[in-house]
Amino acid sequence: MSDYFDQEEIVKDYDSVIFKRILEYIKPYRHLALVTFIALAVSTIGELLLPVLEQRIVDDAIVARYIALDTAQAAEQNISETASAELAELPRGSGLFQTKPIKINDTLFVPQNQQLRISSSVEKELRAKNILDGEQWYVFSLNEKNSVYVLNNPLFIHDKNSAAVRARLLETLSTDELRAVRDADIKRIYSVILILFISLLLVFAATYVQAWSANLIGQRVMKDMRLELFQKTVWQSTAFLSRHPVGRIVTRLGGDVETINDFFTSVMVALLKDISVMAGSLVTLFLLSPRLALVVLACTPPVIVCTVLSRVRARDAFRRQRTSSSAVTSYLSERLSGLQIVQYFRREQRSMHEYSRLNGELLSANLGEIRVYAIFRPIVEFMATFTTATLIAVGSMLVLDLTLSIGVLIAFINLVAMFYAPVMDISEKYTILQSAMAGGERVFALLDTDQRIPDEGTREISSLRGHIEFKNVCFSYKIGEEVLNNLSFQVNPGEMAAIVGYTGAGKTTITNVLARLWDIDSGTITLDGIDIKEISLRSLRREVLPVLQDVFLFSGTIADNITLGLDLPPSEARKAAIAAARAVGAHDIIMRRGEGYDTPLSEGAANISGGERQLISFARVIAHNPSIVVLDEATSSIDTETERLIQAGMERILSGRTSIVIAHRLSTIRNADRILVLKGGAVAEQGKHGELIALNGIYARQWMLNSQPF
C-alpha cells in the first residue's frame, strides 16, 4: 500500500503553544468572551444553589428540627473542660448556611442542619447529665394566629417570642392547630419555591447566553481562520501549491478549522463548566458537612486513577481511528476516481481485498475506541453509585444520632450526582481536545509557511512595447534537476515567437518564469530592458497573460469568466466581454445558448465543450488587453473549425502585440516570426519556418514526420 494512505499526522497531546495561539483569536471578541464567562459563572452558581435551596426548604420548613441544650443544667453540672470548649464552639447564627439558635427560658435550641460539632465522648457526657436532649424539637415564633393554641397547652414550652414542642408530639395536634403552628413554614415554603423557580429561570437564561456566545465566538474564529488561511494560500508561490495537494489544503480550511470550533463550543467552555461544578460541589459539601464531605472525598482516588488510565487509552484508540479512517477515505476516493482503469485492468477483486483489509482495520480501531468508553463509563457510574450508597449509609447514622439533618443528606446526594456527571464526559472532552490540538497544529503549520514570490519590485508599468529577453537563465523545480540550462533568446516587440521541443524540454516552464509564477535560479529576464524582479507583480501579471493548456473556468456566467479581474463598471465590462468574444469568433457560439453571455457554467465548465472553453479562455485574455500574450498549447484540444476561428482572431488581435506560442502541432506556428527549438533546456535552433527547414536539423526532421507531436 502506498504511503499516500498513511499521511495523516499523529495526533498530539495537549500543546500549550497551540492552545495559546488558538486563544489569540479570541482577542477581537474578548467582550463576547467576558459575557460567556459571566454567564458560565451565573449558571454554575445557580446549579449549585439548587441543592442548597432544596436543603433549606427541607430543613427549615418541611422538617424544621432542632436539638435542645439545657443551659441551666450545663451551668450547674460539673462538665469537663473538653465539653465546655466544644459547647463554646456551637454555631452562633453567622454565615450563609446558618440561622440563629433560639433560646427559650433556659433551653438553647440549635437547628439540626447546623450540626452539633462535638465529639461522641462529649455527646455521651452531655446526654448522661441531661444537658443534651435525646429527641428532636420543633421551634417556631409566636404570633396572634398560633398563640391561642400554645399559651395554655402543656405540650409547649415558650417565652413571649418563641415556642417549642417535641417533634413526635406534632402528630397529636389537630389540623387547625398544626396549620396555625406551622404557618411560618408554609410561607417559607412558598418563598423558597419562588426563589427556586427564579433560580431555574436564571440558570436557563445563563446557559442559553453561554451556549450562544460560545458558539458565536467559535463561528467567528472559524471565519477569521478560514479567511487568513485562504489569504495565505492564494499568495503562495506555485512551488508551494505543487508540494501541497489541493485536497490537503481544503482539509485545512475545512475539517481542521472545524475541530477548533469544537474546541470552543465543546471543550473550553464545557471543561470550565465541569471543573467549576466539580470544585463548587466539593466546596458546598464541606460547607454543609465536613465529616460527610470527607467520606465523598475518600471515594474519589479510584475515579482519578481510572480517568488517567482512560485518557491514555482513549488517546491511543483515537489515533488509530483517525489513521484508519484517513486510509479508508483516501483509498475509496482514489479507486472511485479511477474506476474505469480498475475495470480495464481487471483489478476489481484485488481492490475488494485491499478495501476489505482497510475496512477491517477501521472496524478494529472503532471497536478499540468503543471498548475504552464501554469500560470507563460503567466504572465511573459504579463509583458514583458506590459513593452515593456509602454516603447514605454514613449519613443515615449521623441523622439517627441527631448530628445531621435530612435536608443536608438529600443535598449531598444531589451534589454527588453533580460532581460525578462531568467525570463521565472527561474522556470524550479529552478526545475532542486532542483533535483540536492536531487540527490547530496543521492549521498553524500552514499559516507559518511563507513561500510567496517576493514582490519587491517598485516599478509600475501601464504598457510595454513587448521586448522579451532571457539571459543565461537557469531554473530547476528540484535541486540538481535543471529544466532550463543557461537559456538565452530574444523576442522583439510585436513578434509572434513559437517555442517547440520534446516533452520536458522546458517549453511551459518559460511561461511560468516569465510571469514569475516561479523565480529563476540564476540569470535575468527583462521586459523592455527592465528586470522583471523590478516590476511589481500586479503590473507584470497585468501585462503578461496566458491562455493555458489546461483551461480553467470558474462557476458563474460566461460573461463573468471573460471579464474576470477587469476593474470596470458592469456595463463597460459587458461591452468588453462581447468585443473580446467577437474578436476570437466566439460571439455566435455563445449566443446560440439560450441565455447567451449569462449562461451559467457548472463546476469545471463541464456543461460546455472543450473548444468553447478554449475560446472563452482566449477571449478572457483579449478582454484584458495585455502587452504580451502566451499561448501554451492553446489549440491542442480544439477541433479544426474552432481552430480556424482562433487563428482568424489571432491575426486581427495580435497584430502589433508580442506573443509566445507553445504548440505541439507545427501547422499552427508555420507563419510565426520566430521559432525557437528547445533541447535540454536550451535553444538548439531558431529562425523562421523556411530557415529551419533549410537547416535540416531537429525541426526539419520533425516536419518531415508529417508534423507529429513532440
Query: Model confidence at 709, in pLDDT bands (50, 70, 90)?
Result: very low
Query: Model confidence at 350, in pLDDT bands (50, 70, 90)?
Result: confident
Q: Residue 260: CB partners within 8 Å, gap ≥ 6?
A: 22, 218, 221, 222, 225, 436, 439, 440, 443
Instruction: Name the DSSP letter for residue 142.
Output: -
Q: Does residue 143 sit in helix, strand or coil?
A: coil
Give residue-wise pLDDT tens across range 385-406: 888 888 888 888 887 776 777 8
Name which residue leads in pLDDT, 549 or 162: 162
Contact 308, 339 (CB under 8 A): no
Give residue-wise pLDDT tens across range 411-458: 889 888 888 888 777 666 776 777 777 777 778 877 887 777 788 777
Q: How far apart are CA 693 and CA 696, in angstroms?
A: 5
Residue with cell 485562504: 230
Name which residue leads in pLDDT, 427 or 209: 209
> Which triple of cell numbers denotes residue 112?
439540626
Q: How far apart are CA 412 and CA 342, in angstroms?
A: 66
CB-neighbour burial class of residue 99 (10 A; exposed 0-12, middle 13-18, buried 19+): middle
- Rounded to the nearest 10 degrees, what angle do helices 301-337 and 406-424 cross at? 30
Q: Does residue 91 sit in helix, strand or coil?
A: coil
- In this model, does residue 466 exceed pLDDT 90? no
Query: Model confidence at 327, in pLDDT bands (50, 70, 90)?
Result: confident
Contact 524, 611 (CB under 8 A): no
User: What DSSP line would sit under 521-580, residue for residue?
Assistant: SEEEEEETTEEGGGB-HHHHHHHEEEE-SS----SEEHHHHHTTT--S-HHHHHHHHHHH
CB hemisphere CA count around 431 (13 angstroms): 18
pLDDT for 326 equals 67
Partners of residue 659 on adjacent β-strands:
496, 629
pLDDT for 651 equals 66
Q: How far apart are CA 568 and CA 441, in angstroms?
A: 42
Mean pLDDT of the 686-709 span = 79
Q: Where are the alpha helices (DSSP H) in 155-268?
A: 175-181, 183-234, 238-243, 246-251, 257-262
What amino acid is encoded at 344 in this protein? Y
pLDDT for 15 equals 64
> Which triple of cell numbers denotes residue 190?
412558598
Give residue-wise pLDDT tens across range 106-145: 888 888 765 556 667 777 888 888 888 878 889 988 988 8
**223 alpha carbon, distance to own chain's centre:** 10
Query: Model confidence at 8, in pLDDT bands (50, 70, 90)?
Result: very low
- In this model, does residue 290 exceed pLDDT 80? yes
Mean pLDDT score of the chain = 80
pLDDT for 637 equals 52
Residue with cell 435536608: 407
- In this model, does residue 545 exceed pLDDT 90? no
Q: How far apart are CA 203 and CA 341, in angstroms?
A: 61
Give residue-wise pLDDT tens across range 167-186: 889 888 888 888 888 888 88
Q: Could you count the other beta carbons within 10 Å of the beta carbon of residue 435?
A: 22
Name which residue leads in pLDDT, 569 or 236: 569
Give residue-wise pLDDT tens across range 225-281: 888 888 877 777 777 776 666 666 776 777 777 777 777 777 777 778 888 888 888
Could you give the percent of the chain with pLDDT greater than 90? Answer: 7
Give residue-wise pLDDT tens across range 302-312: 877 877 777 67
Q: pTM score, two decimals?
A: 0.68
Q: How far apart are CA 404 and CA 410, in angstroms?
A: 11
Pairing of strands 496-501, 658-662: parallel
Q: How far apart are CA 180 and CA 172, in angstroms?
A: 14
Query: Model confidence at 469, in pLDDT bands (50, 70, 90)?
Result: very high
- In this model, does residue 93 exceed pLDDT 50? no
Hey, what domains does the chain have and what are their CATH numbers? 3-37+207-448 (1.20.1560.10), 65-181 (no CATH), 468-704 (3.40.50.300)
Q: How far apart are CA 491 and CA 503, in angstroms?
A: 22
Closest alpha carbon to 39 in 171, 154, 206, 195? 206
Q: How far apart are CA 472 and CA 677, in angstroms?
A: 16
Q: Which long-range contacts link 282-287 to residues 24+ away (Cβ below 8 Å)? A: 282/419, 284/48, 284/51, 284/52, 284/411, 284/415, 285/412, 285/415, 285/419, 287/96, 287/97
Q: Is 115 left (phi over 0), alpha (psi -120 to 50) or beta?
A: left
**189 alpha carbon, distance to own chain's centre:** 47
Q: How far apart are CA 60 and CA 439, in angstroms?
A: 53
Q: Residue 497: CB partners within 8 Å, gap ≥ 6?
A: 468, 491, 658, 659, 660, 661, 672, 673, 674, 675, 676
- Most confident option among 324-328, 477-481, 487-491, 640-644: 487-491
Contact 416, 288 (CB under 8 A): no
CA 595 vs CA 566, 599, 600: distances in Å:
22, 5, 8
pLDDT for 527 equals 92
> Which triple of cell numbers denotes residue 439?
487540527
pLDDT for 523 equals 93
> Which triple of cell numbers denotes residue 585?
469568433
Q: How far apart are CA 597 and CA 575, in angstroms?
A: 11
What amino acid is encoded at 204 in this protein? F
Contact 112, 401 (CB under 8 A): no
Q: Does residue 503 sit in helix, strand or coil?
A: coil
pLDDT for 522 equals 92
pLDDT for 20 equals 83
The CA radius of gyration of the chain, in Å to the nearest whole number, is: 42
Q: Terminus-to-terminus CA distance in the chain, angstroms?
A: 35
- In this model, does residue 4 exceed pLDDT 80? no
Q: Does residue 595 sit in helix, strand or coil?
A: coil
Give residue-wise pLDDT tens across range 587-641: 888 888 878 888 888 877 778 877 788 788 878 888 888 888 887 765 555 566 6
Q: How far apart are CA 246 and CA 579, in angstroms?
A: 35
Query: Model confidence at 3, in pLDDT bands (50, 70, 90)?
Result: very low
- In this model, does residue 473 exceed pLDDT 90? yes
Q: How far apart are CA 567 and CA 546, in angstroms?
A: 19
Q: Could you count the other beta carbons within 10 Å of the beta carbon of residue 604?
A: 12
Contact 518, 237 (CB under 8 A): yes
**448 alpha carbon, distance to own chain's centre:** 18
Closest alpha carbon to 62 in 133, 134, 138? 138
Residue with cell 487540527: 439
Query: Model confidence at 22, in pLDDT bands (50, 70, 90)?
Result: confident
Backbone phi, psi, residue 92, to 5°:
-115, 10
What amino acid is encoded at 277 in this protein? V
Give residue-wise pLDDT tens across range 647-664: 665 666 566 688 888 876
Q: Does residue 93 sit in helix, strand or coil?
A: coil
